[in-house]
Structure 1
Amino acid sequence: MTPALWKSAANALLEANLQLTRGSFTLDVRLTLAPGEVLALLGPNGSGKSTVLDLLAGLAAPDVGTVTIDGAVLTAPGRFVAPERRAIGLLGQDALLFPHLSARANVAFALRVGDAQLNASLARKEADRWLDRVGLKDFGDSLPRALSGGQQQRVALARALAAGPRVLLLDEPMAALDAETAPFMRQLIREQLAETGTSAIIVTHDIVDAVVLANRVAVLHDGALIDQGTTAEVLAAPRNPFVAALAGVNLVVGTVQNGAIVAPDGRIFWVRPADAGDLDSTGPGAAVFRPASVVVHTEQPRHASPRNVWSARVTAIEPGSGGVRLRTSGDPEVIAELTPAAVADLGLQLGSTVWLSVKATEVSAYRR
């Protein structure tokens, strides 16, 4: 492991040093998590992401290693605290609700058996409060089979947070949701983590989860931590093919201003109307758009409909997954995807000055 990738912190809430060998697979990972921080754990299938969560939650034990929360030792040689006593919650793709219990009773269960140890009456009242927070105020009496997949995940989130975990582990909680439900659930998780101050680690294959939810990203590959940093840092300079593939979007981390995202170099990125309404006050934000959405011109477009138009220089011409990737100057750089024929027709070379345009409807935006 590269020493620079191990960043200990004096104020760390959770620290883990985990080593595990299963057959030909070896996991060797060190992680820290600060109070209130959300860490996105990224990596290809089989890299060890879910294994890390199992070791943190106490569902498995490492061959060698330690897990501590606020200095309290949960895992160490000769010591292993049971999962239910770790103050660590786990929410996965499957809500895993008790099928014979109502939504209210599912949430109340966590309040009765967890640290709160509430009596039945108080647990029911608190469960109703949590169901209201996740938008299910009128579904307290419903059994899981009467709820949609998204509603079940909301109940599961309420149950996980009601237990008052110091750390919440999220194992691809949006993966089983449809395209309409996933954004709502993502925003709900973001809001609830922020409101409760709960630290979290989210395993995901979706870069949008990292952009919307996480303060920091760590990348696993073949059981080893190969990169970590802010989302912008990790995606701006990919260290391996997986991260490069993951960075298959243009990401602009900047400042929210008048319904748009202002890049570090001053470029203004207007965004789709559905997102602009959430950008009504200043603060950190991010814009995301596909390289294929970037149109390349050799002269300034005079009558183009896109609101986002700017000039840049060609800094690299590279092979891409579906054609040619054109890297252009700026902070951050913007990548355009063209066909080989288009590159030849435009006569593009390194150093060429080009004009780029992107329709606002192609740009998604998120608060950071």
Structure 2
Amino acid sequence: MPDHPLAPGPVTTRGPVRIVGSGLLGASLGLALRAAGVPVQLADASPTALALARDVGAGTPAADGDPEPALVVVATPPDVTADAVLAALAAHPGAVVTDVASVKSVIAAEVEAGAGAGGDRYVGSHPMAGRERSGAAAADADLFAGRPWVVVPGPRSRPDAVLAVRSLAADVGASPVTLGAAEHDDAVALVSHVPQLAASLVAARLNGAPEAALSLAGQGLRDVTRVAASDPLLWATILAGNAGPVAAVLHALQADLAELLAALDRIAVDGPLAAGSTGPLARLIGAGNTGVARIPGKHGGAPRRYGEVSVLVPDAPGELGRLFTEVGEAGVNIEDLRLEHSAGQRVGVATLAVLPAVVEPLEAELDRRGWRVVAR
């Protein structure tokens, strides 16, 4: 079995693995498993999507006479996931079946109602991985590396079935996390589904915006709207499948927004010194500071405060690589990186997150080497 960076030791997933659905998640999973030496059978209702997944190396199309799969992974849109799971349970009575849909309660209920005795072989799951692009053309064997993979056992899931799904997650470099279906749906509404909607709402305000305004766009706008380029049809099915938890978070946001609008309306009429006008603004920003501080830090650990060193980088081949090399030569580890480009400029600003104690020595060393360090 070949070595693979996501699976430095022998993998425990038994093949063949049949992946039903050859979009981004299905094809990426196929790439990761095949790189680890696990045979993969692909199935998809779309012959074109199936051929593309085959051509990128995600597996071989399933055919009559293939060995029975030990594990079936359903990677279809959420609105058809339950039917695909039930079909897999019926067609492969010896296989463990999981799915990777981003909603769990609705699917779990439908499977439990229709699976009969085979329901003990089903274990829901959801890798917290993705990207704005969709389809097998965007597949990446490293998509799951270092990401949480939620395992959602049902009330009848066999222990060996749960272990098979946890092993699958670990074998492709993910970190298995066990949650209940409702707990999962509440969590992803807050950390995934509502952020997608917020990004889309902000990006939608750009339609029809004057070019003069768009020319001022900086990294903040790009950060906020990055995921707004996601697949509209897929997200419509995700949101419909998790409507209750998403609506609960949005109602809380609506209350915050109403307080914010009331304060801004008072300022617009009475001026910025009107009594009680600026307090809500400060409270909102302060609450955001507190919330950001709770997001897990590097490698999922407690968040840390880093110092920042900002450097002008010419927009030319090799310049960013040269910067990284010279930071390394200075004995400094880059903890995080942010790049910002200004419209019409042939330079960018690279902001390097480093340990606070090395900020001043690194600035001095980069200045000595001819880099233009942006003053803090």
Assess same fold via TM > 0.5. no
TM-score w.r.t. the length of structure 2 is 0.29
User: Could you say which structure has the larger radius of gyration?
Assistant: 2
**Higher-helix-fraction structure:** 2
Query: Which has the bigger relative contact order, CA under 8 A and spacing at least 6?
Result: 1
